[in-house]
Structure 1
Amino acid sequence: MATINADNVTRSVAKLGRKTTPEQADLLARYLGMLEQWNRRMNLVGPSRWEDMLDSLVVDSLYLAEFLNDRTLRADPLCLDLGAGAGLPGIPLRMFWQSGRYWLVEVRQKRVGFMRSALARLDLPRTEVFHGRAEDALERLQQSGQESTADLIVSKAFMPWDKLLDFTRPMLRPATGDQAGGQLVILSNDPPPENDLPDTWNLMAAASYPVQKKQHYFWALSPC
């Protein structure tokens, strides 16, 4: 097993067809080292070796950063990552895409503890963990006099996509004038079901990318 350091991470990311800056590689190495260590005690993710974590899990974040760069979002967007788990895709994503505020929303205490420990070491801008349900996260924002809806919601295996549409619709910012409305980005093992989407949603964009010789997908959806 290769040692976790920035140089080895850079080489491994290059094998995936992606690039990192030295700073990004160092952040990834620190995150993967913590994930590998904590995973031995509490089984946060399936893979046990950092190389496999990178190839099967962090790879989503590398491609997601590029996908989000092509989305039209309000300046300084509020982003909610539902069911953030061990910080995937959100924590590596923030090393490559740092727009707005990013809330990692997770109800399970052990995973919340890991993410908070990781963020304390990584110093990622405007990224925080919310311990609780997604509905509670927005309520907390409303009580603090901040946002009442999100510009971006990211979901990977949080709930089946058809239920997710109904669940997230009231959480997304409506389009107003020349301001773009909120978008839901789903990470999926399947292409978007274009013919089965309800007519109250628009498929804004879709993209596929390779993960261990299979194709995974992003769907970007916006309520009508």
Structure 2
Amino acid sequence: MNESILIVEDEEELCLTLGDRLRSEGYSVEFAGDGQAGLEKATRLPFHLIILDIMLPLRSGLDVCAELRQRGLSTPILLLTARSQTIDKIAGLKIGADDYVTKPFDTSELMARIEVLLRRAPFRNEIEPRRGQNIYRFGQIVIDIQSTKVTQDGKSVDLTDREFRLLHYFAKHPRVTLSREELLREVWGHKSGTLTRTVDVHVASLRQKLEPFPKKPELILTVPGAGYRFQA
């Protein structure tokens, strides 16, 4: 999967130039021309990195950065600023930005900083949403608990109520081996000792809907003799 980058910048020429360079390096690029649009896109779609200008229409980059962190988004953020004042850079880092570049900048330097951020955190899945934040992100999969909706690559995934509950439970316990008995108890409310293939049937269905190769799953793994593990 190509690493995806969101550029929130109102200078069209800079967007075109930077977008062309990033695509030539193999990155997938999305754009937003103001702070509000950037905030909405960053919280709706999963990205590996966000390049965020400080001076933006509607909402400033600092405001957007702070809001994203308050919502629990851990995606690396690289700030762009035309200002030379140290106070902007310090403020950005204090509210959760990972790095900054002052405009005008050398494109090679920017690319180097991007590579460092992506290497440091290739993709930080949001496994534990903060209080009040009900969205889990695992790669290209987004699970919205409040609306009970799941999307993959931005497209809606049609799940039954029980499939959604099962996926939600997996999401809350990433990389933990969960027994069939625990899943039956916590997701279905069955008493201990219940014998049924319900879990296996629902896991198979989730794999069909979420895994590129359901017969060789990479997301929901079978742990022989133990149960299943959500490999987020």
> Do these two structures clear the TM 0.5 threshold for a shared fold by scoring above it?
no
Larger Rg: 2
Query: Which of structures 1 and 2 has the larger relative contact order (alpha carbons within 8 angstroms, sep 6+)?
Result: 1
